[in-house]
């Protein structure tokens, strides 16, 4: 008798998976598999479908609920799978009432029950047969105007906790389908974020990650329009016991003065910034409809290093965007070394139906794959250099699930000399390093 959540994609999905698990447990459900899908690439969606089919073969009597961005964008595609019992939208999955209907507790193996009857009916939803038995429960995500905080007491098997501070995106990059899965940008009020952080600190978490779809856009929809930096400064003041705060991904040109001051002055803000870069060539960036140019990224990284010399940068990069020439790609590849991007998330371009980029002249798949490999090699070289530079230094790490490894303040992966409690902070000296890890003495 269990509830298992299989999570694909981003840190926001990790946070939301814990919320869904709590909702399902509170509703008294059992023998349920929840797939929280990702839509950032076509491959991510295909991986979810493969996992669903495999899960049905291995667990024929469990009910399968599919949700997440891929389910929000293409609910009919998942509902048409015989393996799937219920499809929930991104807004519905976060509402406890969607999981409350007693009929959802029925066993899948009961032939008297139609799979379509297992979906919960929200107490606020219309009470009629069509609504109550509909296999697809997905609303118009663009109609959602607010994002509420959900008090998550713990994250199973996680050394650090995640807090959603924002959801959705107001921008329309030509390659991206995510706004249609998440809706427009909406922010969680500061007081609710602080309350969530307080609860997690009280539960024993030493590190919290602020996550969202476009957290750099934080606060524009709230009274007074607080910025991301202002919100973080307030939360750190309200929760002084929080030892480490980390950001997920940021847009470099949207960083406000308060955040710059925090980077310079606040030791509890970790010196690790993951930049939503996507490309390092101006023409590609314009065709992507990004908000920055190549020079903006160079200026941003230089400014941050002046404020916090020990900072480490990560970046998301798309390889083989439509119309990308060899020369354009070389500009992106060279940027990795120019600004020292230590942690790369590289994605070969994946055409998403309904996006402008999908209608542009496409780069051959084998070229995309080769360029992605070059970028990953450049990132691996930067990581090896970064880790080598840590040898002889003292680092504070948060211990991961295995008890034998952890991540430093700059997110360097470190192997421990002896086991330590999961989630604890350990101060160690880095005695040696290889291409992927530092090793504590």
pTM as predicted? 0.84
pLDDT band at 27; cut points 50, 70, 90: confident
User: What is the residue-wise DSSP string for 101-153?
Assistant: -GGGGS-TT-TTS-GGGGS---TTS--SHHHHH-SEE---GGG----------
Three-state secondary structure along 1-43? CCEEEEECCCHHHHHHHHHHHHHHHHCCCCCEEEEEECCCCHH
Predicted local confidence at residue 153, as pLDDT: 59
Q: What is the domain partition of the chain in residue ranges? A: 3-139, 143-387, 394-440
| pLDDT tens readout for residues 109-144 | 443 344 333 333 333 333 223 334 578 888 888 887
Predicted local confidence at residue 11, as pLDDT: 79
Burial class (CB in 10 A: 0-12, 13-18, 19+), 296: middle
Best CA proximity match to 221, nearest among 165, 289, 152? 165
Predicted local confidence at residue 328, as pLDDT: 98
Average the pLDDT over 31-37 and give the result. Answer: 93
- Distance in angstroms (rounded) separating the CA atoms of residues 30 and 309: 50
Judged against a pLDDT cut of 80, whether residue 360 lies above it is answered with yes
Which region among 73-82, 306-315, 361-370 has the lowest average model confidence (pLDDT)?
73-82
Token pair recorded at residue 111: 């032939």
- Distance in angstroms (rounded) separating the CA atoms of residues 345 and 408: 19
% of the chain surpassing 70 pLDDT: 90
| pLDDT tens readout for residues 286-341 | 999 999 999 999 999 999 999 999 999 999 999 999 999 999 999 999 999 999 99
Predicted local confidence at residue 156, as pLDDT: 64
pLDDT band at 49; cut points 50, 70, 90: very high
CA angle, residues 347, 351, 354, in degrees to nearest 5? 135
Judged against a pLDDT cut of 90, whether residue 380 lies above it is answered with yes
CATH superfamily of domain region 143-387: tm_1862 like domain (3.80.30.20)
Judged against a pLDDT cut of 60, whether residue 207 lies above it is answered with yes
pLDDT band at 101; cut points 50, 70, 90: low
- Annotation: CATH topology of 3-139: Rossmann fold (3.40.50)
Q: How many CB atoms lie within 10 A of CB 113?
A: 13
Task: Provide the greatest CA pair distance for the chain.
Answer: 68
């Amino acid at each position: 008798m269990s509830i298992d959540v299989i999570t694909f994609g981003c840190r926001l999905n990790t946070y939301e998976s814990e919320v869904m698990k709590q909702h399902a447990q509170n509703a008294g459900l059992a023998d349920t598999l929840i797939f929280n899908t990702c839509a950032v690439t076509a491959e991510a969606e295909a991986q979810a479908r493969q996992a669903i089919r495999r899960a049905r073969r291995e667990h024929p009597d469990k009910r399968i609920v599919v949700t997440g961005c891929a389910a929000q964008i293409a609910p009919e595609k998942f509902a048409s799978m015989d393996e799937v019992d219920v499809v929930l939208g991104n807004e519905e999955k976060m509402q406890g009432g969607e999981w409350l209907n007693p009929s959802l507790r029925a066993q899948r193996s009961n032939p008297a029950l139609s799979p379509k009857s297992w979906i919960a009916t929200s107490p606020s939803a219309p009470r009629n047969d069509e609504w109550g038995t509909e296999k697809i429960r997905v609303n118009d995500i663009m109609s959602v105007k607010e994002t509420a905080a959900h008090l998550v007491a713990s994250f199973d098997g996680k050394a650090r906790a995640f807090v959603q501070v924002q959801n959705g995106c107001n921008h329309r990059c030509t390659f991206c389908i995510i706004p249609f899965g998440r809706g427009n940008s909406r922010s969680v009020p500061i007081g609710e974020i602080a309350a969530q952080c307080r609860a997690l600190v009280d539960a024993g978490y030493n590190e919290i990650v602020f996550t969202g779809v476009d957290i750099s856009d934080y606060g524009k929809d709230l009274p007074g329009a607080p910025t991301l930096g202002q919100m973080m400064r307030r939360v750190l003041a309200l929760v002084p016991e929080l030892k480490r705060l980390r950001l997920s991904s940021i847009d470099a040109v949207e960083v406000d003065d308060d955040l710059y001051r925090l980077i310079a002055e606040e030791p509890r803000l970790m010196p690790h910034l993951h930049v939503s870069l996507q490309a390092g060539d101006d023409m590609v960036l314009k065709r992507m409809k990004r908000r920055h140019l190549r020079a903006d990224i160079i200026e941003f990284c230089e400014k941050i290093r002046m404020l916090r010399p020990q900072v480490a940068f990560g970046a998301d990069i798309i390889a083989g965007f439509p119309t990308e020439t060899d020369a354009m790609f070389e500009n992106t590849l060279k940027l990795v070394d120019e600004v020292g991007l230590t942690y790369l998330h590289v994605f070969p371009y994946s055409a998403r139906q309904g996006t402008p980029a999908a209608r542009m002249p496409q780069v051959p798949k084998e070229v995309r794959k080769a360029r992605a490999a070059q970028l990953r090699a450049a990132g691996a070289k930067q990581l090896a250099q970064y880790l080598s530079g840590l040898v002889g230094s003292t680092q504070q790490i948060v211990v991961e699930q295995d008890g034998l490894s952890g991540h430093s303040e700059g997110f360097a992966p470190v192997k421990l000399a002896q086991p330590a409690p999961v989630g604890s902070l350990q101060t160690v000296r880095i005695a040696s390093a290889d291409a992927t890890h530092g090793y504590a003495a």
